[in-house]
Amino acid sequence: MMKKLIAGNWKMNGSRTQARALIADIVNNLSQEEAIVEKADILVCPPALYISDVRHALRGYPKIKIGAQDCSSEENGAHTGDLSAQMLEDSECAYVILGHSERRQNHGETNVIVAQKVARALKADLIPIVCIGETQEERDAGRAQEIVLSQLQGSLPDLESFHEVVIAYEPVWAIGTGKTASPQDAQEMHTLIRENLKDLVPKPEKTRILYGGSMKPENAKEILACKNIDGGLIGGASLKADQFLSIARAA
C-alpha cells in the first residue's frame, strides 16, 4: 500500500507570526509523536512569502515537506508578480499545488494552462498536486464524472517517462463548506480516476489520489480508509496543528 500523503493548504491565511507559530506547533507535536511521520508523509503549503520562514523552522526536521500553492506556466521572464517553478524548487519546495478550483475560478485557469504548469513543475523537479473536481451544479446535473475526467485528461501534459504526480479530487461544493463527499461517493470517484490514469501516466498504481473538501478530524478516518484514497488535501483544518495532526494520525 502507498504511504498516505497528508497535505495542508494554508491558502491566503495568517501573518508571518502566525505561520511561524503554526509550523512550530506542528514540529513540536511531531517530535513527540514520531510514529506519525513514519506512517504518513506530511506536507505544508504556506503562502509563498512565508515559505522561507517555514523552511527555517524545519531545519533539522526534513521529514515535513514544503509545497507552494501555484507556479507560473512560463519558465522565466516578463511575468510581473508570478513565481517560476524553478524559484520554488530553489526555495526548497518539494511540491506545488496546481489547478486548485480557487485558481480555476478566480484566475481563469483552464486545463491547458494547468497542464503547462504541471510540465514546468516536473521540469523543475517539483511534484505537482493537480486538483480536479466538479461544482454542485455539475453534480446536480449528473455530470460529475464527465467533468472530473475531462479535467484529469486535460490537466496533465504528455508524460512519457515516470514522474511523481499527485492528483487531488476536491469537489468544489465540499471546499470550505463543511459538506464532504460521502466515503462511498469519494471512493467511487477515486476508483474512476485510478482507472483512467492508466491512459495518462506511466505508473498509475504509484500515483497518489488525495481527497480534499472539508476534511477534519471527525471524518478523516472513514475517508482515508477507502480504497484508492491515498491521502488528504486539507484547507481550514490545516491551520490548527492539533486538527491537522489528528487527520495525519487517522492516516
- Go through 124-152 and write b for each residue having 16 or more CB atoms within 10 A of its CB, e for each that does not: bebbbbbbbbbbeebbeeeebbebbbebb
46 belongs to the binding site for ligand 13P (CB under 6 A): no
C-alpha 236: how far from its chain's center? 13
**Catalytic: 190?**
no
The smaller minimum CB distance to ligand 13P, of residues 7 and 86, is found at 7
* Interface of this chain with ligand 13P, residues 62 to 101, rule: CB under 6 A: 100
Q: How many residues bind ligand 13P (CB under 6 A)?
A: 14
Calpha distance 90→74 (Å, rounded): 16
The smaller minimum CB distance to ligand 13P, of residues 86 and 214, is found at 214
128 belongs to the binding site for ligand 13P (CB under 6 A): no
Which one from 100, 109, 134, 190 is the annotated catalytic residue?
100
Query: Which stretch of DSSP H or E encloses residue 68?
Result: strand 64-68
Minimum gap (Å) between residue 78 Cβ and ligand 13P: 30
* Interface of this chain with ligand 13P, residues 10 to 39, rule: CB under 6 A: none
Minimum gap (Å) between residue 59 Cβ and ligand 13P: 26
**Catalytic: 74?**
no
114 belongs to the binding site for ligand 13P (CB under 6 A): no
The smaller minimum CB distance to ligand 13P, of residues 128 and 212, is found at 212
214 belongs to the binding site for ligand 13P (CB under 6 A): yes
| DSSP 8-class letter at 3 | P
Minimum gap (Å) between residue 233 Cβ and ligand 13P: 4
Query: Which stretch of DSSP H or E encloses residue 208?
Result: strand 208-212
How many other C-beta atoms can be found within 10 angstroms of the C-beta atom of residue 114?
25
The smaller minimum CB distance to ligand 13P, of residues 98 and 215, is found at 215
Which one from 109, 134, 138, 170 is the annotated catalytic residue?
170
| DSSP 8-class letter at 237 | G
Contact assessment for residue 121 and residue 69, using Cβ atoms and an 8 Å cutoff:
no
Calpha distance 31→61 (Å, rounded): 9
Per the document, the length of the chain is 251
The correct pick among 22, 96, 119, 234 for binding ligand 13P (CB under 6 A) is 234
Helices 241-250 and 16-32, packing angle to 10 deg: 40
Q: Which residues sit at the interface with ligand 13P, rule CB under 6 A?
A: 9, 100, 170, 175-176, 212-215, 233-237
* Catalytic sites, residue numbers: 100, 170
